[in-house]
A and B are shown apart, each in its own frame.
Chain A
Amino acid sequence: MAQSPQDVFAPWDDATEKPLIRFRNVTKNFGDFTAIDDLTLDIYAKEFFALLGPSGCGKTTLMRMLAGFEKPTTGTIELDGKDIANVPPNQRAVNMMFQSYALFPHLSVYENIAFGLKRSDMDKADIPARVDEMLRLTRLQKFAKRKPHQISGGQRQRVALARSLAKAPKLLLLDEPLGALDKKLRHETQFELMDIQEKTGTTFVIVTHDQEEAMTVASRVAVMDAGVIVQVATPDRIYETPNSVYVADFIGEVNLIEGHAAVDNGVATISWAEGQPPITAKTDLTADTQCTYAVRPEKITITQHEPQDRPNKIKGAVLDIAYLGNISTYHVELPDGKVIKAQTANDRRIARRSFTWEDTVWLSWTDTAGVVLTA
C-alpha cells in the first residue's frame, strides 16, 4: 500500500478522535460465572476490530452485549457517545452476522436481504434498489431467487453478510463468520471481507478463535483470556511485541526460555541454563528480574558452522524436521535436552538441503529478535 505515514489509519493513536464504541468497566456475570471481568475498551469508527481468544474467553459475550442480546451486569457500553444498555436489539444501529448464518429457510436470498429493510423506515420503492446493490456487492445476483438450502456454504455466508449490511449499520458484528468454510474458501473470503469493509466504510467487529484470520483482516486485535483483554494492538505489534507470555504463546509459534535478566542500560543479559552462554536482548526493563525470553522460530537462523558476529548462538542437534513446503521447522535439541524451534524458508530444493536429522547445527539470532517478558 502506497500510503504516506500521515494517512496511516490509526485513530487509536489520535487523542482527539472520539471512539465509536466505549466499554467502561463492563462486568458480565452468568450466575457464579464471570464471563467479562471489569473490561474497558475503545473501538473507533471504520476499524476492523478482531476479538481473539480461546472458546469460553468471553469474546462472544462481548459481541452479544454489543448486539443487545445480553446486558452488562455493571459498567456501561456507549455507542456514538450514548449508553445503549436499555436499547433493545431491534432498535440498535448494529447488525450481526451469525455464526450459523441464521438465514431464514423459508425465504429466498432476495427476501432474506430485504427482511431488515422492510422492517426499517425505508421507502418501499427504494428497497429493490438497495437489495440489488447488496446482491452486486456480494456477487449473488444469479442466486436472488434461490432458497438458502439451494446454494453452497460460501454463498450462504455471503447472503448472511449482505443481509447484515443491507441496513447500513454503524457497526457490523461478525461471529466466527468464516468458521464453516473450508480453508481455501476462507482465505479468499478474508480478502473479500476486507474489500467490503473498505468499500462500505462500516465498522466491523469480528469474533474469532483463528489467530491467522484475526491477523489477516483486522486493523487491531484484542487478545482475550478468561473475561479479560490481555493486549490490544495492531497485528504486527501483537506478533512482534506481545506484552505477556499468554499472548506470545497464543499467537503463532514461539520459543519460551525462562531465566534471570541482569539489565544494564537497556540491554538484558539473561542467564537461563547451566553451561550455556547468556542471551543478550534489548529491553525496556530497568531492573534485574526473573523473566521469560520469547523468540519466534523464523527469527532464528540455523547454520552448519559457527556463525560470526551474532550476539546469541547455541549449538544443538537436529531432532525433527517439519517440512511444510514453503518453509521447514527444525526442532533442535540442546545438550540439556531443551528443544528450540527454528524456521527457514525453503528457497532451495529439498535435495540440496545442507543438514538433516542428527546433524550438529548452530542456532543464532540478533539482540532485537526476541522480547523479554515478565508477565
Chain B
Amino acid sequence: MRRFTLIAIPYLWLFALFVVPFLIVVRISFSYYELSIPPYGPQLDLSTGWDGVKAFFAELNWDNYAFLTGDDLYWKAYLSSLKIALIATFLTLLVGFPIAYAMAKAAEEWRPMLMMLIILPFWTSFLIRVYAWIGILGTEGYLNQLMLGIGLIDAPLTILNTNVAVYIGIVYTYLPFMVLPIYAALEKMDDSLLEAAEDLGCTRTQAFWLVTAPLAKSGIIAGCFLVFIPSLGEFVIPSLLGGSDTLMIGKVLWEEFFSNRDWPVASTVAVILLLILIIPIILFQRNEQKQRETDG
C-alpha cells in the first residue's frame, strides 16, 4: 500500500498539472468559436442529464483541424519554426561547446565561479533581458555604434526585426541549457584519456574527434534537445526581436488567442505543436536513459 502511495504521488502530480489542462485544450480544439464567455461552444449542460452529454459530444468536430491543414499559413509557420529552431540549436551548439570545453579545462577552483557566471543571467527577468537586446541590436543601438566607431562598417546594419536578431536572442537565452549538460559530460572526462590517445599516435585534432567528441555526445544531444524543444514554440523572442516576416508558430498561437480571440483554433495549433514535439521529447528521454545505463 505504501509503495502504491509513493508511486501514485508523481502520477497524481502529472495528472493534475499536465493531463487535465491538456485534455481541456484538446476539448477546446474540437469546439467552435462563439461570441460568449467562454468564447467557444458547445457547453456541457448536465441539467438535461444523459441527453445533454450526448448533445455535447455530437457537437464536437474536426473542423479546426481541417481548417489548419487547409490554410497554408499554419503549416508554413510550423515549417518556419522548425527551421528557425534547428538553426538556432546548431548556432547555440557552436557557441556553447567551446564555453563548456573551456569551463571543463579551467582550474578546479575557477569552475564554481564560471558556473555561476553562466547561471547568473537567470536571476533577472527573461523579458528584461530580451528587451535589453533591442537596445543593443537597434539601428541606433550599441552594437552598431561600436562597429561604426571602430570603422568596421560605414552605415548602420539592420539587425533588429530580422531573423538574425531572433537567432541572437535564442542563442543568448538558451545558452546555459546547452553549456551545462556538455560541461557535465566533459568535466567527468579523465585528462589522461587524451594523453593516451596521443601516446597511441593521434594528433591533438584526432584525439578531439576520436575521444573528446564521442564522450561529450550524450551532453551534446541533451543540450540540443533542451534548446530545440522550447525554441520551437518560442513566442517572446520572435515577437520582440523578430520582424513582420519572422513566422513562428508561437507567435501565430498568440495572435489566434489574444488578437482573434479564437480559442478553438489556438488550441488546435497548440495540440499539433505538442504532437510535433513528442518525437524529439521521446528521443531525448531515450538518450537520457541510455546515458544512465552506461553510467550505471
A residues apposed to B, CB below 8 Å: 67-69, 88-91, 94-96, 98-100, 102-106, 115-116, 119-120, 147, 149, 163-164, 167
Contacts and interface: CB of A to CB of B under 8 A. Distances in A.
B195 A95 contact: no
Interface stretch (B14-22, B81-89, B199-207): B199-207
B195 A119 contact: no
Given A100-B192, A149-B294, A119 B202 contact: yes
Given A104-B211, A106-B214, A90 B203 contact: yes
Contacts of B200: 90, 95, 115-116, 119, 163-164, 167
Contacts of A105: 215, 294
A147 B293 CA distance: 12
**Size range of the chain B interface in the assembly:** 10 to 19
Contacts of B203: 90
A96 B196 contact: yes
Given A100-B190, A116-B200, 19 more contacts: A67-B195, A90-B199, A90-B200, A91-B201, A98-B195, A102-B192, A102-B193, A102-B195, A102-B196, A103-B196, A106-B214, A115-B210, A116-B201, A119-B200, A119-B201, A147-B294, A149-B294, A164-B199, A167-B201
B292 to A, nearest CB: 13
B55 to A, nearest CB: 61
Please provide the 5 A-B residue pairs with the shortest distance between their CB atoms, ordered closest to farther.
Answer: A119-B201, A116-B200, A102-B196, A102-B192, A106-B214
Given A119-B206, A149-B294, A104 B193 contact: yes
Contacts of A167: 200-201
B201 A90 contact: yes
Nearest to A106: B214
A120 B195 contact: no
A90 B215 contact: no
B211 A95 contact: no
Contacts of A106: 214-215, 217
Interface string B71-91: 000000000000000000000
A88 B203 CA distance: 9
Contacts of B195: 67, 69, 89, 96, 98, 102
Q: Which residue, B193, B199, B201, B215, has most C-beta atoms of chain A within 10 A?
A: B199
Interface in B203-230: 203, 206, 210-211, 214-215, 217
Contacts of A68: 199
B199 A89 contact: yes
Q: Which residue, A69, A94, A115, has most C-beta atoms of chain B within 10 A?
A: A115
B60 interface: no
Contacts of A119: 200-202, 206
A102 B197 CA distance: 9
B260 to A, nearest CB: 51
A251 to B, nearest CB: 29
Q: Which residue, A68, A88, A102, has most C-beta atoms of chain B within 10 A?
A: A102
Looking at chain A's contact residues, the main secondary structure is: loop
Nearest to B203: A90
A99 B217 CA distance: 26
A149 B206 CA distance: 24
B201 A120 contact: yes
B199 A67 contact: yes
A88 B197 CA distance: 13
14 contacts: A90-B199, A90-B202, A91-B201, A96-B196, A98-B192, A102-B190, A103-B196, A104-B196, A104-B211, A105-B294, A106-B214, A119-B206, A120-B201, A147-B294
B34 interface: no
Contacts of B45: none
Contacts of A149: 294
A332 B97 CA distance: 67
Interface string B135-168: 0000000000000000000000000000000000
B47 to A, nearest CB: 65
A167 B192 CA distance: 19
A127 B193 CA distance: 22
B59 interface: no
A102 B294 CA distance: 17
A99 B198 CA distance: 16
Contacts of A67: 195, 199
B196 A98 contact: yes
Contacts of A91: 201
A89 B196 CA distance: 10
Given A105-B215, A119-B206, A90 B198 contact: yes
A95 B199 contact: yes
Contacts of A100: 190, 192
B283 to A, nearest CB: 19
A60 B201 CA distance: 21
A115 B197 contact: yes
A103 B195 CA distance: 11
B123 to A, nearest CB: 36
Q: Which residue, B193, B196, B198, B294, has most C-beta atoms of chain A within 10 A?
A: B196
A68 B196 CA distance: 11
Contacts of B202: 90, 119
A149 B190 CA distance: 14
Contacts of A95: 199-200
A67 B197 CA distance: 12
Nearest to A149: B294
A104 B198 CA distance: 12
A38 to B, nearest CB: 27
A56 to B, nearest CB: 19
Contacts of B197: 104, 115
Interface string B179-197: 0000000000010110111
Nearest to A147: B294
A69 B201 CA distance: 13
Contacts of B199: 67-68, 89-90, 94-96, 164
B117 to A, nearest CB: 28
A69 B191 CA distance: 12
Contacts of A102: 190, 192-193, 195-196
Contacts of A147: 294
B293 to A, nearest CB: 10
